[in-house]
Amino acid sequence: MFQTLDLRPADLSAGTESTEERFVRLKKEIHKQLVSGLHMPSVGSVDDYELRRELRRGIEQLCEDRTELLSQDERMRLVNEVVDETLGLGPLEPLLRDPTITDILINGPRTVYVERRGRLERTSVTFHDEQHLLEIVQRIASKVGRRLDESSPMVDARLADGSRVNAVIRPLALDGALVSIRRFSAKPLLAADLIARKSVTPEIIEFLSACVRARLNIVISGGTGSGKTTFLNMLSGYIPDDERVATIEDAAELQLQQPHVARMETRPTNLEGRGEITTRDLVRNALRMRPDRIVVGECRGAEVFDMLQAMSTGHDGSIATIHANSARECLGRLEMMMLLSGFPIPQRAMRQQVAAAVNMIVHVARLSDGSRKVMKISEISGMEGEMIMMQDLYEFNRTDTATDGSIIGNYRPTGIRSTYARRLEIAGYKPDTRLIRTAEA
């Protein structure tokens, strides 16, 4: 795998350089020697584990003549970082291995933030310079066949572990590349996990699971990073295994556990500006694939028109997410996106379509303490005049803020009997009348 390597140390007259500057210089030198010594045809025939082991051996060999300059801890750190630089994403690798991190936000080569448990914190991670950061981002883009340069300075991509990456470089990014990495757990969160995090209650889980079994159409609304996809994943676990589910996503994030899932993902234009496949194209195609349910990871445009048509014409039990700041605003967003379909639809007709297609709206939010909660469950009960009739069934009632900043509150049913009570009863749902009496008190 390795060609003959020149193991002679470079000029190491350190002068007045600091320990960290010396470490970075040595890392660059060893990385350069390592790459020049790799025999590329043989690399492609070696699995990742074996390749990393061989690289470690080569790096340690290159370090032998520099024992007087490196402590044991420095040598271990250097080996790890050079391996990450050669095979992975350099300084980002330790962050990508940390299961507590949900978002990585890079504002230029010297500023890297992460989100843990809903809160942002700055890290000590830095890149050598702007070119180093650009090389890492271009490495991500090239792996998925995307182009990132001055003529195409924005890119959406997906890492091998499913993490979603958005990057913007100069001239659009004024202070160096801006990179956002949204990470997803290898194991999807279950209802018990959300209950433990106080994102929802067992009573609400019981109700929503019955909604899924009763084949009610559900829209999950919320702001960016509010947990819409996580909640959709959890709800999808109640879809019976004997149903065919078609999933449509802009960037694959869903982790449905059913055995019969037809997964589809949109495609951007190629380097020639052709070949784009939109969410709307996939929704239309899904209708020809005999699905029992359709799950759309995020509705954000004209595909809403086709999705609502599917929901009201034989694909009961479908689920979609949408960006909105409240359940009521969700209805307005649906109308607005229907207008993007290009058809001149009267407002009343649009509202009739929404009222006929959508049964439940589950609104989720990320609160000021970083927690994510189901804030409200509302149902669409039809039309009255020109208005869509919506009534709240459950809501989170904020009561106080603890000394540590955490939100204190409780969930309560509104006491309103659901319009779909009969369908829910057939699905095995039996409401706790004690809770309803408490709400009415």
Mean pLDDT confidence for 20-36: 72
Q: CB 29: neighbour CB atoms within 10 A?
A: 16
Residue 377 lies in a domain: yes
pLDDT at 430: 85
Number of domains into which the chain is organized: 3
Same domain? For 176 and 213 the reply is no
Q: In angstroms, how far is the first alpha carbon of the chain from the final one? A: 76
Distance CA 428, CA 424 (A): 6
Q: Do 33 and 120 sit in the same domain of this protein?
A: no
At residue 288, the 3 state secondary structure works out as coil
Task: Name residue 321's amino acid.
Answer: T
What's the distance, CA 233 to chain centroid? Answer: 11
Whether residue 101 lies inside any domain: the answer is yes
Using CA atoms, how far apart are residues 187 and 257, in angstroms rounded to an integer? 10
Q: What CA–CA distance (Å, rounded) separates 89 from 91?
A: 6
**Taking the CB of residue 11, how many other CB atoms lie within 10 A of it?**
6
Q: What is the pLDDT of residue 348?
A: 93
Domain containing 131 — which CATH number? 3.30.450.370
Contact, 257 vs 189, CB < 8 A?
Answer: no
* pLDDT level of residue 85 (50, 70, 90 thresholds): confident
Q: What is the DSSP letter of 276?
A: -
Q: Give the residue from 65, 87, 109 where a domain finishes.
A: 87
Residues 37 and 3: their CA atoms lie apart, in Å, by: 5
In a domain, 254, yes or no: yes
Q: Are residues 253 and 163 in the same domain?
A: no
223, 323 contact by CB (below 8 A): yes
Are 250 and 333 within one domain?
Answer: yes
Please state the length of the chain. 441
Q: Residue 391 domain-assigned?
A: yes
- In this structure, the answer to whether residues 129 and 221 fall within a common structural domain is no
Residues 208 and 176 in one domain: no
Cis ω on the peptide bond leading into residue 171 (within 30° of 0)? yes
- pLDDT at residue 11 greater than cutoff 80: no
Q: Round to whole Å and give the CA distance between 378 and 278.
A: 30
Lowest-confidence pick of 36-40, 55-59, 142-146, 273-277:
36-40
Whether residue 166 contacts residue 156, with contact meaning beta carbons closer than 8 Å, is answered with: yes
For residue 38, pLDDT beyond 80: no
pLDDT at 361 over 90: yes
The type of residue at 330 is C
CATH number (domain holding residue 296): 3.40.50.300
- Compute the distance between CA of residue 113 and CA of residue 199 in angstroms, rounded to an integer: 25
Q: Are 145 and 261 found together in one domain? A: no
Closest CA to 317 of 417, 199, 427: 427
Residues 82 and 96 in one domain: no
Of the residues 162, 182, 202, the one at which a domain ends: 182
pLDDT in tens, 141-164: 887 777 888 888 998 887 877 788
Could you list the residue range(s) of the whole structural domain that residue 50 is in? Answer: 19-87
Q: For residue range 165-189, what is the model confidence (pLDDT) as tens digits?
A: 999 999 999 988 999 999 877 778 8
Confidence of residue 47 (pLDDT cuts 50, 70, 90): low
Among 40, 63, 87, identify where a domain stops: 87
Cβ-contact 401, 352 below 8 angstroms: no
The gap from C-alpha 402 to its chain's centroid, in whole angstroms, comes to 30
pLDDT for res 72: 75
Do 297 and 236 lie in one domain? The reply is yes
Q: What is the pLDDT of residue 206?
A: 95
Say whether pLDDT at 96 is over 80: yes
Q: What is the pLDDT of residue 343?
A: 79
C-alpha distance from residue 60 to each of 30, 91, 169, 382 (Å): 10, 20, 35, 70
220 with 362: CB under 8 angstroms?
A: yes
- Contact at 8 Å (CB) between 55 and 61? no
Give a yes or no: residue 116 inside a domain.
yes
pLDDT at 80: 78
Contact 347/309 with Cβ under 8 angstroms? no
Q: Is residue 10 domain-resident?
A: no
Indicate whether 262 and 331 sit together in one domain: yes
What digits encode the pLDDT tens for the residues 375-421?
999 999 999 999 999 999 999 999 999 988 899 999 999 989 999 99
| Cα–Cα–Cα angle for 365, 232, 145, rounded to 5 degrees | 100
Residue with the bigger pLDDT between 152 and 327: it is: 327
Tens digits of residue pLDDT in 294-317: 999 889 888 999 999 899 888 999
Whether the CB-CB separation of 208 and 219 falls below 8 Å is answered with: no
pLDDT of residue 109: 93
53 phi/psi in degrees, rounded to 5: -65, -40
| Average pLDDT of the residues of the chain | 85
pLDDT digits (tens, 9 = 90+) for 220-239: 999 988 999 999 999 999 99
Question: In percent, how much of the chain has pLDDT > 70?
Answer: 88
Kindly tell me if the per-residue pLDDT of 4 is higher than 70.
no
Looking at the fold, whether 249 and 378 belong to one and the same domain comes out as: yes
Report how far Cα 261 is from the mean position of its chain's Cα atoms. 19
**CB contact set of 21 (below 8 Å; sequence gap of 6+):** none
Residues 431 and 334 in one domain: yes
Residue 213 domain-assigned (yes or no): yes
**Is the confidence at residue 440, as pLDDT, over 50?**
no
Q: What is the pLDDT of residue 37?
A: 60
